[in-house]
Structure 1
Amino acid sequence: MKYWIISETAENKKYLIANEKNIWITEQSIDADIESLIEQKNVQNVAIYRYSIIKNLIFINDDSSMLIEFKSDEDKEEIELFINATIYEDVKSFFSENLLHSKVKNYSIVKQIQPAGIGFLIFTGITIFLYNIAIGLQNGEEMRTSGRRGWVKKIFVGIADILGPIGSLIVGGLISLFFIYIVFKTIKNPKEGKVIKLDNFTEAKF
């Protein structure tokens, strides 16, 4: 087992604890003896994440942060930890060098632009969808909003009716342009770091 104080305030310390099978994140009072609490198995207010449910550990050098991405987005949202700059390299080195059944690679620009790229594709599709609905309404076509997920259809029809064809293109286009801006900004100033890909058999060695 290995632990780090990744941040602290006047009252509390936040710990990142690496075990053989999982990661612990806990916040304790400033005067707590974390080693005694661990030995006595009396650590309270702790979140435990098994390596087997973690998809990636991403270390971003620019802001000394660590992202924990999970295999199933439905179960948990990603966790972002900002690590004290004085220990950041030690934390990154430990997980890079001591996780069995893991792969380490650079934080690629493709992975960095992926969220914005997906957002662009989604909103481009929504824009086209709204535009087609608006054209249909303008031509007097009847829009079916019954059946499965009828309430979703009603929302889209309502938005298209309010915006109209031109409004749908303008609003959707502006949102899509925002994602394009994010993509180009990321390409111009990419972040540096490491991505550690875990699998179902990953465990830490000590």
Structure 2
Amino acid sequence: MNRRVIIITDGDSIAKKVIEKAAAMTGCRTLSISSGNPTKVKGSEMVKLIQCVKYDPVIVMADDRGDTGRGNGEKVIDYLIKSEEINVMGIIAVASNTQNASGIRVNCSISKDGKISKNSVDKHGNIKESKVLVGDTVNTINPSSVSLVVGIGDPGKMGCTGGIDSECSILAKAINIIISAYHI
């Protein structure tokens, strides 16, 4: 049985805490070893680790540390999407302030206030007028190879009035959108 996976395009230490808590809130498992800024685990290693997790959905992190171009985070995402040994349910695309990034078109986004929008958000979770989310680890993702892309601001750095708990709720909402759309 192929494990079901949700990819989050962030993995620094602050995001990791938010991701782990949001995963627990939604009944998912986090592959914490996938964290890092940038991600250090290779795609093939990550697939093997995913297959060892006791239950799914499995949340994995992929981060490029703000590098433009194709960094390890994007290489990992590409490998996971193409792997026949796992099922990528969707991607949670994290916005950043990376300059000269083309971004990715999202299906929807969740603002720092928890509102679902058809448009993208910025790093701080504010809704933008465009559907294109700019982030450092999303540039080379082909949205047609993934069923669902949900945009969010930078976990742990959106400055939500409810603090880290609010940020966990936003991420949990994004996770639940992907789970619901996947028809588990």
Give TM-score scaled by structure 2 length: 0.25
Q: Which has the higher helix share?
A: 1
Give TM-score scaled by structure 1 length: 0.23
User: Which structure has the larger Rg over C-alpha atoms?
Assistant: 1
